[in-house]
Amino acid sequence: MLEIQQLHFSYDKKTPVLNGLNLTVQQGDFLALIGPNGCGKTTLIKLICDLLEKQKGSIKLDGLDHNDFKVKNAVLYLPSDDVLPEFLTGKEYINLMLKMYNASMDEERFHRLVKYYSFDSALDVLIEEYSNGMKKKVQLIAAMLIDPEILIIDETLNGMDVESREITKLLLMNFSGPNKIVIMCSHDLHLLEEMCNKVVILYQGKIHTEKKIDDVRQTTSLLSIFRGIMNHEDLKNEIISS
Ligand SMILES: Nc1ncnc2c1ncn2[C@@H]1O[C@H](COP(=O)(O)OP(=O)(O)OP(=O)(O)O)[C@@H](O)[C@H]1O
């Protein structure tokens, strides 16, 4: 169980980005993390991964602090910005990632993943020559081989062609399961509704809404809930009538 309690964070020590955030994510959860631009989704993810230093509060996985080596080794974060070691080939990058996570290469799985993404001819090419979509694919192949306990995805499906997106969706849904936590941050609410089993909406530094996706589907949609919080109808009408 990932337990976040009373988390506070501010970049300039004045304007709070996270303001006493509480969140519990259970093994088996495939969580959609949504919220308006700038609400702090990436900040929250970076705090969970100990890439930013928290100022107040606690983040624990199964009772262990998030900066414990065991927790760090259990969490894999796929960021949205694709900063990869450009001087490596795809295959070298995958091997490096496996080493960093003390994971062994499952050759059979590796070849299957390469086949799903039609990635064979890209493996020996330098990452500096990769397109955005190829960078996403090589990160996903590495992630699926590492098989982490917690996978955090920040807009990773952006830039992928339709078929690769579908393959990724299926791979991630297969990956999630009773022993895993998947947190996916995206503005593609339809995709999240298809894939995830829970949603949390981050707004004004706190978790504003927390719901099971099945409950959302029965009554409304993620888009309607999101629009209800943002309440931009007046602005849109002003633009239409101008
Ligand atoms: N390195 C930084 N230094 C100062 N302020 C930052 C930094 N990174 C983010 N911020 C600010 O913190 C707030 C939260 O940013 P964050 O990137 O976490 O939002 P987000 O919800 O992921 O946004 P988006 O949906 O646009 O990706 C924003 O006001 C942003 O301007």
pLDDT by residue (tens digit) across 116-163?
A: 999 999 999 999 999 999 999 999 999 999 999 999 999 877 778 999
Contact 209, 201 (CB under 8 A): yes
Residue nearest to atom 5 of ligand 1 (CA): 11
| Residue 33 binned pLDDT confidence (cut-offs 50, 70, 90) | very high
Q: What is the CATH number for 81?
A: 3.40.50.300
Report the percentage of the chain scoring pLDDT > 90.
76
DSSP label at residue 25: E
Scored b (16 or more CB within 10 A) or e, 150-173 reads: bbbbbbbbebbeeebbebbeebbe
The pLDDT, as a whole number, for residue 121 is: 97
The pLDDT, as a whole number, for residue 221 is: 84
Residue nearest to atom 18 of ligand 1 (CA): 40
**Mean pLDDT (whole number) for 93-108:** 96
Is this complex scored with an ipTM above 0.95?
A: yes
The residue length of the chain stands at: 242
> How remote is the CA of residue 41 from the centroid of ligand 1, in Å?
8
Residue nearest to atom 6 of ligand 1 (CA): 11
Any ligand 1 atom below 6 A from CB of 37: yes
Q: How many CA atoms lie within 13 A of 133 on its CB side?
A: 12
Residue in 65, 59, 54, 75 with CA at minimum distance from that of residue 23? 59
User: In the chain, count of helices (H) and strands (E)?
Assistant: 10, 10
pLDDT at 80 over 90: no
Taking phi first (over 0 means left), then psi (-120 to 50 degrees means alpha), and beta for anything else, what does residue 181 get? beta
Domain that holds residue 84: 2-241
Sign of the dihedral defined by the CA atoms of residues 39, 210, 155, 94, in that order: positive
> How remote is the CA of residue 230 from the centroid of ligand 1, in Å?
18
Cα–Cα distance list, 159 to 32, 41, 82, 132 (Å)? 19, 20, 11, 6
The pLDDT, as a whole number, for residue 139 is: 95
Domain count, the chain: 1
Atom of ligand 1 lying closest to residue 45 CA? 18
pLDDT at 105 over 80: yes
Residue nearest to atom 3 of ligand 1 (CA): 11
- Average pLDDT taken over every residue of the chain: 92
The pLDDT, as a whole number, for residue 128 is: 96
Mutate to test the pocket of ligand 1, among 21, 39, 81, 208 (most ligand atoms within 8 A of CB): 39
> How remote is the CA of residue 111 from the centroid of ligand 1, in Å?
38
> How remote is the CA of residue 124 from the centroid of ligand 1, in Å?
35
What does the angle CA 53 – CA 59 – CA 65 come to, to the nearest 5 degrees? 90
Any ligand 1 atom below 6 A from CB of 40: yes
> How remote is the CA of residue 168 from the centroid of ligand 1, in Å?
26
Residue in 188, 217, 183 with CA at minimum distance from that of residue 200? 183
